[in-house]
Amino acid sequence: MIPCYTVQRNLACIQRIVGGVRWTSSCRPAPLLTASPVRALIDDKISIRGHFLPPRCPVTVCAQMQSDDGDLWEAFAHFNTNLDGTVNLTRDPSVGGSYLGCEPMGLLWGLQPAPGAEKKKVETPYVMLMSLLKGHVSPSERPSTELAAVTAERWYMAPGVRRIDIRQNGVVGTLFLPPGPGPFPAMLDLWGMGGGLVEYRSALFASRGYASFSLAYIGHKDLPGPQHRINVGDPYFKSAFQLLQDHPQVYRDRVGIIGLSFGVYLTLRLANHSDIKPSCLICINGPAGSNIKLADADGRTEQMENDQKYWTYDDQGTVSFRAVSLPANLSPESKVELDHLTCPLMYIVGEDDLSASSIENANLIEETLSAAVKSQLFTRLSYPGAGHLIEPPYTPNSRASLWSVKPQKLVTLWGGHLALHAAAQEDSWKKILEFMETNLRH
């Protein structure tokens, strides 16, 4: 069989025999792969195209990236070139590989493996190496011929965004400020029980014009120990909100709160204090109550192991926390009544959430607000096939990942089917920004 390609790095003449007839092209440049723009924010789309290829020939486009932990992530897609010798990921369907169909950003959200990884260093970009390969190949399984390559940078921090460590009056977090003098509308950013200090969503908010304060409350070296428990209480979260409100570059009457997972409970609890007046709330896949009592003002803590009776395991020993947050399993006194809530609340549901009972909690919140004659404050976004970790768009999702090593190794289920989860992240992020625009800028 005569190969589809005879490639040279300089100008090349490519010959092909079809149906016994020799076909000779005119001389043309060597194959080229382009990405535009080559430097962009993580939530910006990019256009990936291959040029100067033989018509109707199989090619593979591969994306590779190193995580902050040094792991190699990879995605690839198979295409057949068009009659004009091009492939355009915005236009052309993938016929195999990490995803199928026309998905312009599929090479980015399809990156695997990404178990337990997160972007820790927001001051540096993800550097994506994209390669154009000969034939339909699986790059990690066998050697392949690279025809062309291009690199692209994906950033959480736009030029001019400022990152400020906060260690003030016991409050631990990172403040991100947009370029310019301000003042800016702002968000308090609360994550889940994974702990530590997760900064990338706040960095991206600041890149879109909002001051954002990512707050640590468990599992951080600068917080009271032990690290596997919540050792801060309501005064801590109120202090964090007020610290953000009082910042000279923040509009004090335009501050919202966003929470994911256990951060949803903290968001609702904080907003229900009569002396805390957020402008809007965004809740992503989390409970309206808890089995974990927060520390009181004196810092006393309770064990966090009380909810283990609701853990469930599959045949591989992977744990799901979903039943922990079923409304019937939440301690009645912890359920937030929302009687003081006066601002709009948007709740985002991943219908394949395997870590929290998001549908049931969204129902509970909606019923609670309806009983308080506040239905007009509630907006629900619900996404079939989306899992627990609905994050900024065009980033990979892990259906399961490592949760803990000590005292035992645990892998937990998050849920989410790759393409459906990616679609949910893209749509929900757009609507999050629209919701913030409506409630924090107008």
Alpha carbon distance 397, 110 (integer Å) = 8
Whole-number Å distance between alpha carbons of 294 and 188:
19
CB 256 within 8 A of CB 279: yes
Q: Is 261 among the catalytic positions?
A: yes
Residue 51 designated active-site: no
Catalytic residue among 43, 353, 398, 421: 353
Distance CA 401, CA 410 (A): 9
**Residue 34: burial class (beta carbons within 10 Å; 0-12, 13-18, 19+):** middle
Q: Are 325 and 349 in contact (CB under 8 A)?
A: no
* Catalytic residue status for 358: no
CA atoms of 82 and 91, how far apart (whole Å) = 11
Query: Contact at 8 Å (CB) between 21 and 47?
Result: no
Q: Which is catalytic among the residues 131, 388, 401, 421?
A: 388
CA 238/CA 240 separation, integer angstroms: 5
Phi-psi region of 147 (alpha: psi -120 to 50; beta: other; left: phi over 0): alpha
CB 426: neighbour CB atoms within 10 A?
A: 17
Q: 388, 355 in Cβ contact below 8 A?
A: yes
In the block, residue with structure tokens 């991100």: 176
- Say how far apart CA 121 and CA 156 lie, in whole Å: 9
Q: Which of 144, 202, 214, 261 is catalytic?
A: 261
Q: Which of 334, 386, 323 is CA-nearest to residue 357?
A: 323
Of the candidates 195, 234, 235, 240, the one whose C-alpha atom is nearest the C-alpha of residue 213 is: 240
3-state helix, strand, coil in the chain (%, to 5): 20, 30, 50
Q: Are strands 211-215 and 184-190 parallel, antiparallel or unpaired?
A: parallel
Active site residues: 261, 353, 388
